[in-house]
Chain A
Amino acid sequence: MPKILNISHLGKTYTNGPKRLTVLDDISFDIETGETFAIVGPSGSGKTTLLGLAAGLDSPDSGTVELCGTDLATLNEDQRAALRNREVGFIFQNFQLLPTLTALENVLVPLELQGAKNANSICMELLDKVGLADRSDHYPSQLSGGEQQRVAMARAFSSTPSILFADEPTGNLDEETGEKVVQLLFELNQDSNTTLVMVTHDLELAQRNQRILRLKGGKMIANESTIRL
C-alpha cells in the first residue's frame, strides 16, 4: 500500500524567553492510504502539535513531513493551503465552524475554494447523510454541539479528501452524542476510503483505529497495530 503520510525524525521546540521547550523529539512513522490511525497520549505530550505539523499547519524545526507524496518543506504557505484544500479534511474538538455562515455555507466552502460545480447538491447530500438537511440554513449558534460537529464532518468530507485529521472529535460532546458522531465518522471514512488520523486521549476510541501511536513528553513510545493488541 502506498504511504499517504511519512514522518521522519520530526522535532519541534518552542522558545519562551530564555526557556526552550521541546514538544516533539525525533518522531518517525508512516501511515498507509485508507488506514485509520490514532495518536494518543496524556495532556501536553505533543499530540496536537504533531497533528498540526502532519497537516502542514506549522513547520517543524527538524525532520520531514511527506504528505500525499509531497515533502511539505518544499511548499510555501499558500501551496500547503492548496494541498490541504485538495487532499486534507479537518475535524476539530471545538468544531471551528465559521460563525457567520449557515450550515450549508460552511460545508460548501472547501468545494467552492476548488471551484467545483454542483457543490450545492453534493453538500446537501452530505448534510442529509449527517442528518441535518433540514437545518442547512441555520447558523452555528443555532445548532447544538453534536449538530455543529456533524456539520463539521460534512464539511471535512465535502471535498472527498485523501486524508482526514480529527483533533479530539468528541472532546466537547457528551458520551451519547460523541458515540453517534464517532460512528458517523467511521461510516463516512469507510464510504469514501479516506485515511483517518485522529488525536484523542480516549483509549476506547483509539482502539477502534487500526493503529495507535503513543506519545509521552514529546517522544514516541509506541506505534502498534490494534489488531495485535
Chain B
Amino acid sequence: MNDTDFRTPNNLNTPRTNLGWLFKMAWRDGKASGKRIVLFMASIVLGIAAVVSIQSFSENLKENIGLQSKALMGADFVIDSKQPPNKRVLDIIDSLGGADAKSIDFPSMAVFPNSGNTKLVSVKGIEGGYPFYGKLETDPISAASEYQASGGALVDATLMMQFGLQPGDSISIGKIVLPISGTLISAPGITGVSASVAPPVLIPYSSIESTGLVQVGSRVGYDFYFVAGPKQDLDALDEKVDPLLDAENADLDTHTSTGERLGRRYDNFGKFLNLVAFIALLLGCVGIASSVHIYIKEKLPSVAVLKCIGASRKQGFLIYLIQIAVMGIIGGLIGTLTGLLVQQSFPLLLQGFLPFEVQISYAVGPIVMGLSLGLFMSVLFALSPLLRTWYVSPLEVLRIQETTSQKSRTANILVLSSILIFIFLFALWLLGDWKYALSFTFGILVVFALLGGIALLFMRGIKKYFPKQWSFTARQSLLNLFRPNNQTMVLILAIGVGTFLISTLYFTKDILLAKTSMEANKKAPNLILLDVQTDQQKAVADQITTKGLPLLNNIPIVTMRMQKIKDRTVNDIREDTMSTINGWILNHEFRVTYRDSLISSESLEEGNWPEIAPKEGVVPISLSDNVARDAEVGIGDRLVFNVQGMLMETEVASIRAVDWGRMQLNFSVLFPSGVLENAPQFRVLTTRTPDEGTSAALQRELVKAFPTVSILDLRQLLKVVDGILEKISWVINFMAFFSILTGIIVLIGSVRTSKYQRIKESVLLRTLGAKSAQILKINALEYAYLGILGSTIGILLSLVGSQLLAVFVFKTAFIPSLIPFLVVLPGITALVLAIGILNSRSVLMSPPLEVLRKEGI
C-alpha cells in the first residue's frame, strides 16, 4: 500500500451496477425469505385473473358480434318501420332492387286449443328466404324450410315445453288456427330475455292478414330484409338512404351498425364487471403494499450492512425492486393464465343474455395487459415502502440510531400521485368517461382515507384513554394495536375494504329487488290488457268486473310523432349536423295518454299542469324530465305533434320526474283532459287477480272474446324479472367472489405478516412464563378488535354508499338488509380471529428458542 493507491473523488464514482450481481443477490435473498410474500402474490394473481377474464371475454364478445353481425340480423341490411310503409318508403325499397324478404311482427295472445292455455307471444310473419345468414334452428330440422309452404307455425322451444306441445298440435292466433310445424330452438337476434317475456312464434307472411290482428293503433313492426351485393358499401348506403327513410318514420339498419349497437349494450355490463374486477385488483395492491412495507422493514438492517460494505443506494434499492418485479411478473403470468381459464365459464354464466353463442378465443390485448399489470402494479404499489431502502443510512449497522430511514416528502408525494393517476387512467380506460373515472378514483380515495383515518383515530383513542384497570391479557392485546410495528392500519384497510364491497353488493341487490317487488303493494295491478279498442273497452271492462275483479285502470293511449321542436321541423333537425337533440326523439312513436291528475310514480319538477286544457289555442302538455332533456326544451317551448295525420301545436307547461322503475304504466308525454278524447286511440285496462288460476281463466275468456287484445301477466313477468335478476346477481357474485377471495388472501397475508411482528413478543412472554392460554387470549383479542372494527366501519361506509346510490342513481327508498350485519360482520370477524389464532399455533406449541430459530428471527 502506498500513497498513490489512495482513491480520489474522480475515480470513486458510484460502482457500476452489475445487473447480473443484482439478480443474483435478489435471488439469494428471495429464496430464503420469499415465502413470506407468496400469499400477497396470490392476491395480485386473483385481481389480475378477474381483470383478464373480463377483458378477454369482452374482446371475444366484440369479435363475435363483429363476426356474427350478419347472423344476428339475418341479412346485410334491414329497412324497418313501426307503421305500414308509405309509397315513398316502398319506392326506396324498389330503388334498392326490392327486398329479398319481409316480415311483420306484433305481440299477441296465442291460444293453444288442445289445453285452452293462453300466452302473450311475439308473432312474426315471414315471406322469403329470411334469414339469409345464420339459421332458424328447429326440431324437426326440416320445419325451418317447410313452415311457409305448409302454412304452419314455428313455436318457441320453452313455450312448447311449458305447455307440453308437440309438432302437429295447433296454435290459435287472432282469428286463425295454424298447425305447429316444429319447435323453434333459435333464430337470429332473439335473446333468452326477450323470449321469456313474449316467446317468438314464426308464421307465414300470408297468414298475417287473416289473423285480423293488424289494425289501426296496433303495435306492429314492418321489416324488409336485403342481401347486399359483394362490393356494396353499406356505410355509404346507410348515410345516403337513412335520412330519406327517417323523414318517412322508417329506418335503415346495416348489420355492422346493429352489431355496434349490440356491442355497446354489452359493453356497459362489461364495464360494470370490469370495475368489480378492478376493485379486486386494487385490493390485491393493498396487499402488495402492506406486505412489501413489512418485508422491507425487516430488510433495512441488511440494506444498511450492504451500504456499509460498499453497495450504492441504487444497488440496495434495485435488489429489492428486482424481487418485487419478478414476483409481479410471476403473479401477472399466473393471474393471466387463471383469467383465461375463468373466461371459459362466462358463456355458461351469461347464457340467456346473449343472442348468439360466443366462441372463446385468446385475445392478445388482455394477455399483454395482464402480464404488464402484474409487473406495473406490483412495482407501483411497492415503491413507497421500497424507497426506504434508498434512504436507510449505513450508520444503522452501528446501532447508533433506531431504524429511522426517513423518506423524502417529494418522493412520497410523487409515488402517491402516480398511484392515483394510475387508478384514474385505468378507470378511464375501462369506463371511457373521465367524470366516472374521476368519481371512481375519488370514491376509492375517500373509502381508503376514511378507513385509514378511523384506524388512526382508533389507535390514538386507545393510547389516550387506555384502560389501565383491565386485565394483563386484555391490556397486552390493546397495546398491540398501537405499538411499533402494529398492523392496525393495514388490517383495518384490508378488512374494511373487503367488508365494504361485500356489503355494498348485498345492499345494491336489495335496492334492485325492492324496485321490482310487487308483492309489497297489494293494490298494484298484476294483469295488463293492451290494445283494447275504444269500442271494446266497455265489454272488456264488464268481463273483468262481472268476475268480481277490480278494474284498476282504464287508460287511453294515442300514438303520435314529433313534427316540430321550437319551430324547427324534425326533418330540418335531422339534416342539421350540428344539432345535439337526441335522435330517438325525432323518430320515436310516442304513446301518449291524457288525464287530469298526476299518479304516484310522478312528481312535478317545473311549471304547472293545467288539469283541463283551455278550449282553444295551444295545448299545454307535460313532459317527463328525460324527454325534455333529450329534446332540449323547457317550460314555454312549443312542440308540434303529428297525431296520426293531424298536426297539434302544444306548449311545455310542466316537466315531471317519473319513476320508470315502478311496475306500472308511465308516460313520457302527458296531455290534459279535453283534447285527445276524439283522436284514434286504444286503451290499456288493468286489474288484479288474486291467484294464477283466476288469472289464467280470465285470460282464456278474454282472448276468446277479444282476440286482438294482448294480455301482459305481470305475475309471470315478475318471475322472468326475478330469474333475470338472479342470473345477473349470479354473475355479479361470481365477480365479487374474486374481490372477496382477494380480500381474504390479503387478510391472511396481513395477519401472517403481523405474526412476524408479534412472534418476538410472544416468545419473550413465553420465556418470562406466560401460559399458552394467556398468549392465545392476547392474540385472539387483538384480532377480534381488528375484525370487529374493520368490518363495522366497512358496513357503515357501505350503508352510506348504498344510501347515496339509492337516492342519486336508483331514485328509490333504501331498506337495508340485515345480512351484512348478521352474517358478514360476525363472519369476517370470525375469519380474522381464526387466521390469527392459526398463526399463533407455532408459538404456542414449540419451545421459545425453537420458534426463533425456525422463523429465522
Question: Which residue from chain A places its CB closest to the CB of B29 in the assembled complex?
Answer: A100
User: Would you call A99 and B856 a contact (CB within 8 A)?
Assistant: yes
User: Would you call B3 and A2 a contact (CB within 8 A)?
Assistant: yes
User: Would you call B395 and A81 a contact (CB within 8 A)?
Assistant: no
Residues of A within 8 A of B650 (CB): none
Whole-angstrom distance from the CB of A94 to the nearest CB of chain B? 7
Instruction: Name the one of B16, B32, B308 contacting A57, with C-beta atoms under 8 angstroms.
Output: B308
Q: A79-B14, A162-B1 are in contact. Are A92 and B302 (CB under 8 A)?
A: no
Q: A58-B393, A110-B310 are in contact. Are A115 and B7 (CB under 8 A)?
A: no
| A211 in the interface (beta carbon within 8 A) | no
Q: Is the interface of A mostly helix, strand, loop or mixed?
A: mixed
Q: A90-B308, A99-B302 are in contact. Are A79 and B9 (CB under 8 A)?
A: yes
Write out, one digit per residue, whether chain A residues 132-147 have a CB within 8 A of any chain B CB (1) or not (0). Answer: 0000000101000000
Instruction: Name the one of B9, B12, B25, B398 contacting A92, with C-beta atoms under 8 angstroms.
Output: B398
Residues of B within 8 A of A85 (CB): 15, 309-311
Question: Which residue from chain B places its CB closest to the CB of A95 in the assembled complex?
Answer: B305
User: Would you call B397 and A90 a contact (CB within 8 A)?
Assistant: yes
User: Would you call B32 and A109 a contact (CB within 8 A)?
Assistant: no
Instruction: Give A97 to B18 CA distance when docked, in angstroms.
Output: 22
- Interfacial residues of chain B within 287-313, with CB under 8 A of chain A in the complex: 301-302, 305-313
| B95 in the interface (beta carbon within 8 A) | no
Write out, one digit per residue, whether chain B residues 32-75 have a CB within 8 A of any chain A CB (1) or not (0). Answer: 11000000000000000000000000000000000000000000
- Interfacial residues of chain A within 76-95, with CB under 8 A of chain B in the complex: 77-79, 81-88, 90, 92, 94
Instruction: Name the one of A114, A141, A167 contacting B15, with C-beta atoms under 8 angstroms.
Output: A114
Residues of B within 8 A of A74 (CB): 9
Instruction: Name the one of B1, B6, B33, B398 contacting A52, with C-beta atoms under 8 angstroms.
Output: B398
| B5 in the interface (beta carbon within 8 A) | yes
Q: A75-B12, A83-B12 are in contact. Are A98 and B395 (CB under 8 A)?
A: no
Residues of A within 8 A of B853 (CB): 141
How many of chain A's residues touch chain B, expressed as a range? 35 or more
> Please, how many residues of chain B have a CB less than 8 angstroms from a CB on the other chain?
43
Instruction: Give A92 to B309 CA distance when docked, in angstroms.
Output: 12
| B400 in the interface (beta carbon within 8 A) | yes
Instruction: Give A205 to B351 CA distance when docked, in angstroms.
Output: 83
| B28 in the interface (beta carbon within 8 A) | yes
Whole-angstrom distance from the CB of B32 to the nearest CB of chain A? 4
Instruction: Name the one of A52, A68, A84 contacting B395, with C-beta atoms under 8 angstroms.
Output: A52
Residues of A within 8 A of B399 (CB): 48, 94
Q: A52-B400, A109-B306 are in contact. Are A57 and B394 (CB under 8 A)?
A: yes
User: Would you call A113 and B310 a contact (CB within 8 A)?
Assistant: yes
Instruction: Name the one of A82, A84, A90 contacting B13, with C-beta atoms under 8 angstroms.
Output: A82
User: Would you call A78 and B14 a contact (CB within 8 A)?
Assistant: yes
Instruction: Give A229 to B616 CA distance when docked, in angstroms.
Output: 128
Residues of B within 8 A of A90 (CB): 308-309, 397
Whole-angstrom distance from the CB of A198 to the nearest CB of chain B? 14
User: Would you call B395 and A70 a contact (CB within 8 A)?
Assistant: no
Whole-angstrom distance from the CB of A13 to the nearest CB of chain B? 13
User: Would you call A84 and B5 a contact (CB within 8 A)?
Assistant: no
Question: Which residue from chain A places its CB closest to the CB of B315 in the assembled complex?
Answer: A113
| B21 in the interface (beta carbon within 8 A) | yes
Residues of A within 8 A of B315 (CB): 113
Instruction: Name the one of B18, B29, B394, B400 contacting A115, with C-beta atoms under 8 angstroms.
Output: B18
User: Would you call B1 and A100 a contact (CB within 8 A)?
Assistant: no
| B8 in the interface (beta carbon within 8 A) | yes
| A26 in the interface (beta carbon within 8 A) | no
Instruction: Give A69 to B1 CA distance when docked, in angstroms.
Output: 12
- Interfacial residues of chain B within 391-409, with CB under 8 A of chain A in the complex: 393-395, 397-400
Residues of B within 8 A of A69 (CB): 3, 6-8
Write out, one digit per residue, whether chain B residues 378-398 have a CB within 8 A of any chain A CB (1) or not (0). Answer: 000000000000000111011
Residues of A within 8 A of B1 (CB): 2, 4, 33-34, 162, 193
A-B contact pairs, 16 of them (CB 8 A): A2-B3, A48-B398, A48-B400, A78-B15, A81-B307, A81-B394, A84-B308, A84-B309, A85-B311, A90-B309, A100-B302, A112-B21, A112-B25, A114-B310, A162-B1, A167-B398
Q: A-B pairs with the 8 shortest C-beta distances?
A: A85-B310, A69-B6, A100-B32, A78-B14, A78-B312, A68-B6, A79-B12, A100-B29
Given A99-B302, A100-B32; 20 other pairs, CB 8 A cutoff: A2-B1, A2-B3, A34-B1, A48-B398, A48-B399, A48-B400, A68-B7, A69-B6, A78-B314, A79-B9, A81-B307, A81-B311, A82-B12, A85-B309, A98-B305, A100-B302, A101-B28, A102-B28, A113-B310, A141-B856
